[in-house]
Amino acid sequence: MPGDRQSTSQLGPAASSAVMRAARSLLRPLVRLLLESQITYPLLGDLLKELFIDVAERDLPIDGRRQTDSRISLLTGIHRKDVKRLRRLREEAEGTTSPSIPLGALLVSRWMGDPRYLDTEGAPRALPRMPGREGEPSFEELVTAVNKDIPARSVLDEWIRQGIAEMDDDGIVRLRVESFVPEEGLEAKIHFFGRNLRDHVATGAHNLIGEGRPYFDRSVFYDELSRESVEELDRAAREAGARMLRDLNRRAFELQRRDAGREDATYRMTVGAYYYAADERDEADLDPGASGKETGDPPDED
């Protein structure tokens, strides 16, 4: 529980300047996205106030002591009147439903992870739209296994429209693996944008704060490359990343089934892969560093 945790951060005032430089670097693309979405500084400022208060209250408690408005104000630098007002508004808003993982993502994950829906080579098998022979999986069965309230035909029509799946004249449905991220699924993209980046930042913060065993967090970076070279590396990263994620998805599905019903099955995990390339002449806030290296999490300590 949050109230049982004490901060064991290895960071301190001496690290503040370096953390601020890192924050400036990682926030720059986010600010670009906010401005493109017509979200102005006052809106973001209000959100940051709420987050500073929430983190100070939930993550930095003192054992046996009630979190007062005055202490939170001292920790965050936010005026005590604002602290009191925003804490009250948060309490009134608690209990509202948070966004859930989009149905499409759950279906694709099962189609690519459940051995029942895979062929002999481990690829998503083509499925008849409707149940046929007894024991043969179908697209309708796939949808029903994840959500019984939405008609499978509605899901299929939308997937065909978005190019995620295709169906031939015989009613056989195929997942277009190369297009399984919906091109027009903006809401789903935004959902995973927030969730994936949150988890990646949380990984780095966990490793820097030093609260327990470091998580895996590595990258490969090079500069002084031509456009043709970064395009070749982009293709290689897509192929390697897709392979890794498919393998991990199948393994995670197996383990989730094994853990079903266990009282301690309360954990979640995220594994991601990304690729980025840009012309350094057009970039601001570049992180200094030598080229041609692999960088990542601190070494494990036994």
pLDDT digits (tens, 9 = 90+) for 139-149: 999 999 888 88
pLDDT of residue 5: 46
Question: Do both 212 and 299 map to the same domain?
Answer: yes
Question: Do both 209 and 300 map to the same domain?
Answer: yes
pTM: 0.67
pLDDT tops 50 at residue 288: no
Number of domains in the chain: 3
Interval 154-168 mean pLDDT: 89
Closest CA to 29 of 292, 301, 300, 286: 286
Q: Which of 80, 96, 112 lies at the terminal end of a domain, its last residue? A: 96
Question: Do both 207 and 175 map to the same domain?
Answer: no
Q: 24: domain range?
A: 1-96
Q: What is the residue whose two structure tokens read 């890192």?
A: 22
Task: Tell me the C-alpha distance between 61 and 72, whole Å.
Answer: 10
pLDDT tops 80 at residue 221: yes
Q: Which of 79, 96, 113 lies at the terminal end of a domain, its last residue? A: 96
Question: Do both 67 and 149 map to the same domain?
Answer: no
* More confident call, 15 vs 50: 50
Closest CA to 160 of 184, 144, 142: 184
pLDDT of residue 2: 41
Question: Do both 79 and 1 map to the same domain?
Answer: yes
Question: Do both 78 and 41 map to the same domain?
Answer: yes
Query: What SS3 class is residue 78?
Result: coil
Question: Do both 87 and 114 map to the same domain?
Answer: no
Mean pLDDT across the chain: 83
Question: Do both 202 and 174 map to the same domain?
Answer: no
Question: Do both 53 and 133 map to the same domain?
Answer: no
For the domain that residue 174 is a member of, what is the CATH number? Answer: 1.10.10
Task: Tell me the C-alpha distance between 228 and 278, whole Å.
Answer: 12
Q: Which of 39, 71, 96 lies at the terminal end of a domain, its last residue? A: 96
Q: pLDDT digit string (tens) for 115-143?
A: 889 888 888 899 999 987 777 899 999 99
Question: Do both 193 and 163 map to the same domain?
Answer: no
Question: Do both 200 and 286 map to the same domain?
Answer: yes
